[in-house]
């Protein structure tokens, strides 16, 4: 891995989680060179290992593309937490680790005897984060939802779509990608704090609260003025045109946004200064906002026969904000993402070469990187139990015999 | 209680694309100094305003996203302003900005220049596409980032254009990512004594919203289109009596009990068709079930949901552990019993505006209580005196700078 992070190279993170949000939080550390060990069990596999599973899936739990893609650079140890010996293994791993990250339903860790109060006896300066949908306290903490429910509850669905149609979430259960960033940040901050004070901490992160915190502007507008904003298609309150309009080709689109009069004049020049655009109403932002439906229609007429990338280049060169609505195929071929090394190709034993993804920032001195695919279940039992915990082959065999490693 | 970032000074030069990033650092205890041009940040002119009164001190965008920061005014276009900025940088750990690549360098304030004198400096830039590369010079706000980042193509109805969320989610994704990159850089500095550049791309941050869909597509290409209220083959958004709820027929065997519980709820309400009550869920697999079967099930569930309000459905869902949730608006959030119970909202006082406003109080709860709002957003030049005096600018000199329009 290129230039691993100096302070994270020695960092050991223990992860008891499933789905997207918890594992993605830990991935930030794995990408920067930390040792991340996932505790898993075939008795209750991560649902991403079974989400796409059908009876004829050839590699079973070890062939789930989404799991593999979201968990690069990690190690997997299989532990049955229902057994006393399994719990002891986790306690020993906590003593080994710097950070514990879990996203079970609230109360599950306590029932297993693995809650923070107990684990900090094993490691007094432990940093532990519990992530879940609603947080560890409160009347609805037991609600069993996932990111799709979190996104709706946090208010993002109501804000997405067309005013005359049903609301739907932005693709990809938005709080599932928002929450892990805050989780990783809270842990990174806690590491900095522990260096300074020697103290650990417990962090209770609710995916919904992280979403609503991001929507502070919305909450403040309601609290101050009683305003209840709703979905408005692609319209903006500051810019017009601010639209997605069709281009040449099957289902091809371009986003165009005009935030000031200079950009409007530039757009007119690129369009060849058509007569309709000379209407003085369009010369000001206010006027353009007032005439938005007509503007969008005119713009669409002009763009609909044009190749989207050529149009984007032409508009951007003239100083007009424009971006092609990129499909998954487009992203895989995007020269800017390629320049940033966003996709890293790594070979997987069962699935062949896969394209893994980097996070959205690059550190100039410690860029980090990805070089191992998401692990098979229990792939690293020998390393974790032998090397990290110092158990010998006989002890490991005995644990397996007792069913602690299932 | 001090926060995790206690003792870290951040100079925040961002526009609305980065306001939230600075707020996050400030809410974690960093000393974030928001730097505005004399007269105030242009974003202060953006409505809506508190009470509908247009005034740069009443912009709700400003008040919402600059909590816990201090504020100064300084003209970076003036040479004297740049001198003071360099003096300020000597006291700083982090610069956070969202200028177009090269714009600060053109003023002699780029990272390459500043780091010579201040190798410990961490410099974070949030831009649409990153600092270098073929699109680095391209402009973009939220809509362009959401389009180029792949989310828009998959969001919306098939018979209409791709669509974005009406709030700028591209900034929401980039903000904690920038704060994380900065915190990683601060951790590295503990070892090396040196800072570094943190290059954040709005576009690249968007890709994570796809949760590995590009990688899955590269391996197994399938035409993916926006499917509106459906996820894949099955309906995800349903009309209730007074709004919309999410509920899915998908998700594998683990979710079967929730489908059975839904049927029981319908049966208890006396509206479950006989065939549904006797349905054999043991062999149900959303990957292999036929289109006709999906249609039949959806018609039955849909008819029932339309007879109940969002709240009624959600209360039963909580009781019966059904994966159904309301598509809340902001009022429902503000009144949410769970958020209220956790004291998620905090009231900030605005005595000079005669107002008190509730804000979301934290993004996570720390046992050290380090993540929380520390105060309201700064007024124009509110902290000029204390910050410039600490830089050795006398009261008279400051008055002069103000009259010259530098401060």
What is the pLDDT, as a whole number, of residue A4? Answer: 67
Contacts of A5 in chain B (CB under 8 A): 184, 187-188
For residue B48, cis peptide bond before it (omega within 30 degrees of 0): yes
DSSP code for A283:
G
* Stretch (H or E) spanning B113: helix B111-117
Reply yes or no on whether the pLDDT at B259 is more than 90. yes
In this prediction, residue B369 carries a pLDDT of 94
Q: B232-249 pLDDT, tens per residue?
A: 789 999 999 999 999 988
Q: What pLDDT does residue A151 have?
A: 97
Q: Do domains A12-214+340-401 and A242-327 have the same CATH topology?
A: no
A62-76, A164-178, A353-367, B332-346: the lowest-pLDDT one: A164-178
**pLDDT tens digits, A306-353:** 999 999 999 999 999 999 999 999 999 999 999 999 999 999 999 999
**Residue ranges of E strands in A167-303:** 201-206, 242-246, 253-257
Q: What does each C-alpha distance from B289 to A54, A73, B234, B252 come to in angstroms?
A: 12, 36, 10, 12
Superfamily of domain A12-214+340-401: Crotonobetainyl-coa:carnitine coa-transferase; domain 1 (3.40.50.10540)
Average pLDDT over residues A363-368: 95
Q: What is the bridge-based pairing of β-strands B122-127 and B94-97?
A: parallel
As a whole number of angstroms, the distance between CA B235 and CA B134 comes to 40
Model confidence at B145: pLDDT above 90:
yes
Residue A2 is predicted with a pLDDT of 58
Q: Which residues pair with B372 in a beta bridge?
A: none
A79-83: list long-range contacts, CB under 8 Å, 24+ apart: A79/A39, A79/A40, A79/A41, A79/A404, A79/A405, A80/A41, A80/A43, A80/A403, A80/A404, A80/A405, A80/A406, A81/A39, A81/A41, A81/A112, A81/A114, A82/A43, A83/A402, A83/A403, A83/A404
pLDDT per residue as tens digits for the range A101-140: 999 999 999 999 999 999 999 999 999 999 999 999 999 9
Residue of B nearest to A72 (CA): B212
pLDDT digits (tens, 9 = 90+) for B381-406: 999 999 999 999 999 999 999 999 99
Radius of gyration of chain A (CA): 25
> B130 vs A336: CB contact, 8 Å cut-off?
yes
- Host H or E run for residue A331: helix A328-333
Q: Is the pLDDT of residue A28 over 90?
A: yes
Residue A256 has pLDDT above 90, yes or no: yes
pLDDT surpassing 60 at residue A191: yes
Q: How far apart are CA A213 and CA A182, in angstroms?
A: 10
Q: What torsion, rounded to 10 degrees, do the Cα atoms B312, B317, B322, B326 define? A: 60
State whether A209 and B364 contact (CB < 8 Å).
yes
Mean pLDDT check: name the lowest of A47-51, A105-109, A272-276, B403-407.
A47-51
Residues of A (262-291) whose Cβ lies below 8 Å from B: none
pLDDT computed for residue A229 by the predictor:
96
**Residue A179 pLDDT exceeds 70:** yes
Distance from CA of A15 to the nearest CA of B (A): 18
The reply to whether residue B337 touches residue A356, judged by beta carbons under 8 angstroms, is: no
At residue B187, the pLDDT reads 97
Task: Identify from B231, B337, B338, B358 which residue to disrupt to test chain A contact, counting A C-beta atoms within 10 A and taking the largest count.
Answer: B338
First to last CA, chain A: 31
Told to judge if A204 belongs to the known catalytic residues of this protein, a careful annotator would answer no
Q: Which homologous superfamily is A242-327 in?
A: formyl-coa transferase, domain 3 (3.30.1540.10)
Task: Kindly report whether the peptide bond that precedes residue A241 is cis, defined as omega within 30 degrees of 0.
Answer: yes
B389-395 contacts at long range (C-beta below 8 A, 24 or more positions apart): B390/B91, B391/B84, B391/B87, B391/B88, B391/B91, B392/B87, B393/B84
Q: Do A65 and B219 touch (CB under 8 A)?
A: yes
Q: Do A340 and B165 touch (CB under 8 A)?
A: no
Give the residue-averaged pLDDT of B136-161: 97
Question: Is the torsion defined by CA of A84, A85, A86, A89 positive or negative?
Answer: positive
- Position B3 pLDDT exceeds 60: yes
When the candidates are 3.90.960.10, 3.40.50.10540, 2.60.40.10, 3.30.1360.170, the CATH number that belongs to B9-209+343-403 is 3.40.50.10540
* Arithmetic mean of pLDDT over chain B: 96
The domain ranges of chain B are: 9-209+343-403, 244-326
Q: What is the pLDDT of residue A113?
A: 94
pLDDT digits (tens, 9 = 90+) for B73-112: 999 999 999 999 999 999 999 999 999 999 999 999 999 9
pLDDT higher than threshold 90 for residue B254: no
- pLDDT over 90, % of chain B: 92
> CB distance from A232 to chain B under 8 Å?
yes
Neighbouring C-beta atoms of residue A301, cutoff 10 Å: 13
Rounded average pLDDT over A347-369:
96
**How far, in Å, CA of A283 to CA of A292, rounded?**
13
Which residues of chain B are within 8 Å of residue A159 when distances are taken between CB atoms?
165-167
Tens digit of each residue's pLDDT (9 = 90 or more) over B32-84: 999 999 999 999 999 999 999 999 999 999 999 999 999 999 999 999 999 99
Q: Tell me, what's the ipTM?
A: 0.98
Q: Which of A204, A230, A245 sits opposite B161 (nearest CB)?
A: A245
Report field, pTM of the whole predicted structure over 0.90:
yes
Residues of B in contact with A361 (CB under 8 A): 124, 177-178, 180-181, 198-201, 204-205
CA A365, A210, A357, B18 dihedral sign is negative
Cα(B151)–Cα(B144) distance, rounded to whole angstroms? 11
Give the integer Cα–Cα distance in Å for A69 and A209. Answer: 27
User: What count of other Cβ atoms lies within 10 Å of the Cβ of residue A333?
Assistant: 10
Whether B11 shows a pLDDT value over 80: the answer reads yes
Q: Give all strands (DSSP E) within B128-221, no chain letters.
A: 197-201
A203-218 residue pLDDT tens: 999 999 999 999 999 9
Instruction: Answer whether residue A1 shows pLDDT above 60.
Output: no
Helix locations, B248-360, DSSP H: 256-268, 274-277, 291-305, 310-320, 330-334, 337-341
B31-36 and B234-235 strand pairing:
unpaired
Which one from A62, A115, A176, A296 is the annotated catalytic residue?
Answer: A176
Please identify among residues 68-107 of chain A the ones whose CB lies closer than 8 Å to any CB of chain B.
Answer: 69-70
Pairwise CA distance, residues A135 & B337, whole Å: 13
Cβ-contact B398, B407 below 8 angstroms: yes
**Extended strands (E) in B22-175:** 31-36, 70-73, 94-97, 122-127
Contact A235 B333 (CB under 8 A): no
Residue of B nearest to A340 (CA): B133
Q: For position B230, what pLDDT does the model report?
A: 86
Confidence band (pLDDT; 50, 70, 90) for B251? low
Alpha-carbon gap: B265 to the closest alpha carbon of chain A (Å): 17
């Amino acid at each position: 891995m290129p230039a691993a992070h100096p302070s994270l190279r020695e960092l050991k993170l223990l992860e008891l989680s499933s789905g997207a949000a918890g594992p993605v939080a830990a991935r930030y550390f794995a990408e920067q060179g930390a040792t991340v060990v996932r505790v898993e069990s075939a008795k209750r596999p991560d649902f991403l290992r079974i989400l796409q599973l059908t009876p004829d899936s050839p590699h079973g739990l070890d062939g789930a593309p989404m799991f593999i893609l979201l968990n690069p650079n990690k190690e997997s140890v299989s532990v049955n937490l229902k057994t006393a010996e399994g719990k002891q293994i986790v306690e020993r791993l906590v003593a080994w680790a710097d950070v514990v990250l879990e996203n079970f339903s609230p109360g599950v860790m306590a029932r297993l005897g693995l809650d923070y109060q107990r684990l900090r006896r094993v490691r007094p300066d432990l940093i532990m984060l519990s992530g879940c949908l609603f947080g560890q306290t409160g009347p609805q903490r037991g609600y069993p939802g996932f990111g799709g429910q979190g996104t709706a509850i946090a208010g993002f669905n109501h804000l997405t779509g067309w005013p005359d149609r049903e609301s739907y979430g932005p693709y990809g259960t938005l709080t599932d990608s928002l929450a892990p960033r805050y989780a990783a940040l809270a842990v990174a901050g806690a590491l900095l704090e522990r260096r300074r004070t020697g103290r650990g901490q417990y962090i209770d992160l609710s995916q919904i609260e992280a979403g609503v915190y991001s929507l502070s502007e919305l909450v403040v507008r309601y609290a101050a003025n009683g305003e209840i904003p709703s979905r408005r298609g692609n319209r903006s309150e500051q810019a017009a045109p601010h639209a997605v309009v069709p281009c040449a080709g099957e289902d091809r689109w371009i986003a165009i946004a005009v935030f000031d009069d200079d950009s409007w004049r530039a757009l007119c020049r690129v369009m060849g200064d058509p007569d309709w655009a000379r209407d003085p109403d369009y010369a000001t932002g206010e006027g353009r906002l007032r005439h938005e439906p007509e503007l969008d229609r005119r713009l669409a007429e002009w763009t609909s026969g044009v190749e989207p990338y050529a149009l984007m280049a032409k508009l951007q060169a003239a100083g007009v904000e424009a971006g092609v609505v990129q499909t998954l195929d487009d992203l895989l071929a995007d020269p800017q993402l390629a320049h940033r090394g966003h996709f890293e190709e790594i070979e997987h034993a069962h699935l062949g070469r896969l394209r893994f993804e980097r996070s959205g920032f690059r550190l100039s001195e410690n860029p980090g990187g990805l070089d191992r695919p998401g692990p098979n279940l229990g792939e690293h039992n020998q390393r974790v139990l032998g090397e990290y915990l110092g158990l010998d082959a006989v002890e490991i065999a005995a644990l397996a015999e007792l069913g602690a490693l299932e | 209680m001090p926060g995790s970032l206690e003792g870290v000074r951040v100079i925040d030069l961002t526009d609305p694309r980065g306001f939230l990033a600075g707020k996050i650092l400030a809410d974690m205890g960093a000393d974030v100094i928001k730097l505005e041009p004399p007269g105030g940040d242009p974003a202060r002119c953006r409505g809506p305003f508190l009470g509908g009164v247009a005034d740069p001190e009443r912009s709700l965008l400003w008040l919402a996203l600059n909590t816990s920061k201090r504020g100064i005014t300084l003209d970076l276009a003036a040479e004297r302003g740049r001198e003071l900025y360099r003096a300020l940088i000597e006291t700083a750990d982090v610069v956070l900005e969202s200028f177009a690549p090269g714009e600060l360098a053109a003023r002699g304030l780029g990272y390459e220049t500043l780091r010579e004198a201040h190798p410990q400096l961490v410099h974070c830039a949030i831009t649409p596409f990153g600092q270098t590369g073929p699109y680095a010079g391209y402009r973009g706000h939220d809509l362009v980032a959401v389009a180029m980042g792949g989310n828009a193509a998959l969001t919306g109805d098939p018979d209409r254009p791709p669509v974005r969320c009406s709030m700028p989610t591209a900034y929401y994704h980039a903000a904690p990512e920038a704060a994380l990159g900065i915190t990683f850089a601060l951790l590295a500095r503990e070892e090396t004594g040196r800072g570094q550049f943190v290059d954040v791309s709005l576009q690249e941050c968007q890709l994570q919203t796809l949760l590995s869909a590009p990688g899955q597509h590269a391996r197994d290409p399938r035409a993916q289109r926006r499917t509106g209220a459906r996820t894949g083959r099955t309906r995800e958004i349903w009309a209730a009596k007074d709004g919309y709820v999410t509920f899915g027929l998908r998700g594998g065997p683990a979710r079967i009990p929730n489908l059975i519980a839904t049927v029981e709820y319908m049966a208890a309400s006396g509206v479950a068709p006989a065939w549904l009550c006797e349905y054999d869920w043991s062999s149900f697999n959303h990957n292999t079930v036929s289109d006709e079967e999906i249609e039949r099930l959806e018609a039955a569930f849909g008819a029932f949901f339309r007879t109940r309000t969002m709240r009624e459905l959600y209360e039963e869902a909580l009781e019966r552990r059904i994966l159904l949730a309301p598509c809340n608006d902001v009022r429902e959030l503000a009144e949410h019993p769970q958020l209220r119970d956790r004291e998620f909202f905090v009231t900030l006082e605005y005595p000079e505006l005669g107002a008190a406003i509730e804000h979301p109080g934290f993004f996570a709860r720390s046992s050290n209580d380090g993540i929380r709002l520390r105060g309201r957003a700064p007024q124009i030049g509110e902290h000029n005196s204390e910050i410039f005096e600490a830089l050795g600018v006398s009261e008279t000199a400051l008055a002069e700078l103000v009259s010259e329009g530098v401060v």
